[in-house]
Amino acid sequence: MLFKVEMVVKLPVDMPVSQSDALKKTERELAQQLQASGKWRHLWRIAGQYANVSIFDVESNEELHQLLMSLPLYPYMAMDVTALCRHPSSIRDADL
């Protein structure tokens, strides 16, 4: 099942740099693992924002929910989730 997820990161301004750096590092490691697994298909920065547009390929709504809640930055992100399906005019295979 494919989902578009927009994530806007809002770290507290008073968060110590050491803490935010550690969070970003563990987030990057998990994001790269999930990309390698095929579950996190696309990860794009929204130009001009501390935000991204991502495409996830997961087995269920519940798996997506658990995956997103497991992200280290989850407590500091606002997320917008949209379910996707194939477009009849797409020339791309379903596996993106």
CB distance 87 to 41 below 8 Å: no
E strand or H helix that includes residue 51: strand 51-57
For 51, counting Cβ atoms within 10 Å of its Cβ (0-12 exposed, 13-18 middle, 19+ buried), the class is middle
Query: How far is C-alpha 8 from the geometric centre of its chain's CA atoms?
Result: 10
Which of 9, 11, 55, 81 binds ligand MUC (CB under 6 A)? It is: 9
Which of 5, 7, 34, 58 binds ligand MUC (CB under 6 A)? It is: 7
The region of 11-19, 24-32, 60-68, 84-92 touching ligand MUC under the rule CB under 6 A is 24-32
Should residue 63 be labelled a site residue for ligand MUC when binding is judged by CB under 6 A? no
Q: Which residue is nearest to ligand MUC (CB)?
A: 52
Q: How many CA atoms lie within 13 A of 20 on its CB side?
A: 11
Which of 19, 21, 28, 79 binds ligand MUC (CB under 6 A)? It is: 28
Phi, psi at 2, each rounded to 5°: -105, 140
Should residue 31 be labelled a site residue for ligand MUC when binding is judged by CB under 6 A? yes
Residues that bind ligand MUC (CB under 6 A): 7, 9, 27-28, 31, 43, 52, 73
